[in-house]
Amino acid sequence: LGRVLVSESAWLVRDKAGEARYFEGVVEPLGERLRATELLSDLLSLQEALVGFVEDSAALALEDSFFGRVLERAVALVPGAQAGAILMQRPDGAFGFVAAVGYDLSKLQTLTLAPEELFINLGQAGTQYIRHHRAARTVQGERLQVLQAAGRVGELRATLATPITLGQDAVAYLSLNNFEHADAFDADALERCTLFAKQVGALVRRFALERELRKRQQSLERWGAFRSGLLGFMKETLERGLAPDFYERLLGYAAQAIPGVEAGSILVRRDSGRYGFAAALDYDLAALQAVEFAEDELLDNTRTFESTIISSLAEQSLALVQDERGEVLREAGRLEEIASFLSVPVVVGGQVLALLN
């Protein structure tokens, strides 16, 4: 009769001598049942592995070893994968390597690739199966040599490329590679790769939301501290009046309350209509107090009443001040060391009374 699995709706038929002759009812070949059982077992194993991956990754952040861990798991879970890489899109649109297994990541990270230089069709959704790699036609010169040496592009036979999405946008691509066979990946490998990338995308969204929430919380905390400090400063000023150290205390408070401040100064409008230094933090105030500026020698915010941020302070200042004052600003005001400059006008009665820098 052969090996069969007999369902509850089948029965054995015997002859008059009691010998088994055949089955009547529904029978099923053993091989099909075993294959279905094995497939179910594989799916359960994959599900358990993905759940374990999510649990293990929950404590990580995108800035840590997240993508390296992602790639290691993907290579282990997808049949046929021998190596892999994750490329993330940067704000300028180019792609850079953030993780690699089986390749020299440190050398690959010296490269950026334009979208048209990738093996991937960015207009196609879902997992792509790539059997013919065309790096030599898209990347030339020294960059191609780096890809061949560190990325082994000349050895690739098969690649699965899957987008990792944030909302509707692909923020990165998971690339899994095989060096031996062009048909190394089967339908099960494609399904696993796609499912894994979806789990990674869900984690990326979670981390992005958590990071945004942390930023908002930190912003609220900073604003709370700022308002508390400002009220304290105002109360102290009302009690003491415009004491000689008023501008010095104002500058110290601002340096503590405003993120990123490492030094600062306050320019005050004098009776002559020119502006001079009344306070300085981490600069030579005694030397700076000998310097005065006409309104047209300062930034435009004395006329626009708006806060200004610039990164080329030395260039702009020395273009406006072309005498010995420029040398004082270089030496006492460390003008050429300033990488970022914030200027806030203090407006009283429609006139800029002071500039907080």
- In this prediction, residues 142-150 reach a mean pLDDT of 86
Sorting pLDDT into bands at 50, 70 and 90, what band is 237? low
- In this prediction, residues 131-138 reach a mean pLDDT of 63
Q: How far apart are CA 20 and CA 200, in angstroms?
A: 56
| pLDDT greater than 50 at residue 1 | no
* Helices 30-57/187-240 angle, 10° precision: 20
279-311: per-residue pLDDT in tens?
898 999 998 888 888 888 887 877 888 888 888
pLDDT at residue 84, rounded to an integer: 93
pLDDT at residue 349, rounded to an integer: 80
- In this prediction, residues 228-240 reach a mean pLDDT of 70
Q: How far apart are CA 140 and CA 134, in angstroms?
A: 11
Return the top range by mean pLDDT from 18-27, 122-131, 144-153: 144-153
pLDDT at residue 104, rounded to an integer: 92
Which of residues 118 and 129 earns the better pLDDT score? 129
pLDDT at residue 337, rounded to an integer: 86
Sorting pLDDT into bands at 50, 70 and 90, what band is 225? confident
Q: Give the percent of the chain with pLDDT over 90.
A: 7
pLDDT at residue 201, rounded to an integer: 79
Residues β-bridged to residue 165: 170
Retrieve residue 112's tokens: 């950026």
For 21, 23, 94, the CA distances from 15, given in Å and listed in that order, are 6, 12, 78
pLDDT at residue 80, rounded to an integer: 93
Range in 116-120, 214-218, 247-251, 330-334 with the lowest mean pLDDT: 116-120
| pLDDT greater than 60 at residue 108 | yes
Q: How far apart are CA 141 and CA 143, in angstroms?
A: 6
Q: How far apart are CA 203 and CA 168, in angstroms?
A: 15
pLDDT at residue 135, rounded to an integer: 52
The 3-state secondary structure of the chain, one letter per residue: CCCEEECCCCEEEECCCCCEEEEECCEEEHHHHHHHHHHHHHHHHHHHHHHHHHHHHCCCCCCCCHHHHHHHHHHHHCCCCCEEEEEEECCCCCEEEEEEECCCHHHHCCCEECHHHCCCCCCCCCCEEECCCCHHHHCCHHHHHHHHHHCCHHHCCEEEEEEEEECCEEEEEEEEEECCCCCCCCHHHHHHHHHHHHHHHHHHHHHHHHHHHHHHHHHHHHHHHHHHHHHHHHHHHHHHCCCCCHHHHHHHHHHHHCCCCCCEEEEEECCCCCEEEEEEECCCHHHHCCCEECHHHCCCHHHHCCCEEECCHHHHHHHHCCCHHHHHHHHCCCHHHCCCEEEEEEEECCEEEEEEC
| pLDDT greater than 70 at residue 224 | yes
Sorting pLDDT into bands at 50, 70 and 90, what band is 333? confident
Sorting pLDDT into bands at 50, 70 and 90, what band is 60? very low
| pLDDT greater than 80 at residue 173 | yes
Retrieve residue 246's tokens: 């008023």
Sorting pLDDT into bands at 50, 70 and 90, what band is 76? confident
Exposed e or buried b per residue across 257-296, where buried means at least 16 C-beta atoms within 10 angstroms of its C-beta: beeeeeebbbbebeeeeebbbbbbbebebeebeebebeee
Which residue's entry shows tokens 């501008």?
A: 247
15-41: per-residue pLDDT in tens?
777 777 766 665 555 455 555 555 445
Burial grade of 237 (CB within 10 A; 0-12, 13-18, 19 or more): middle
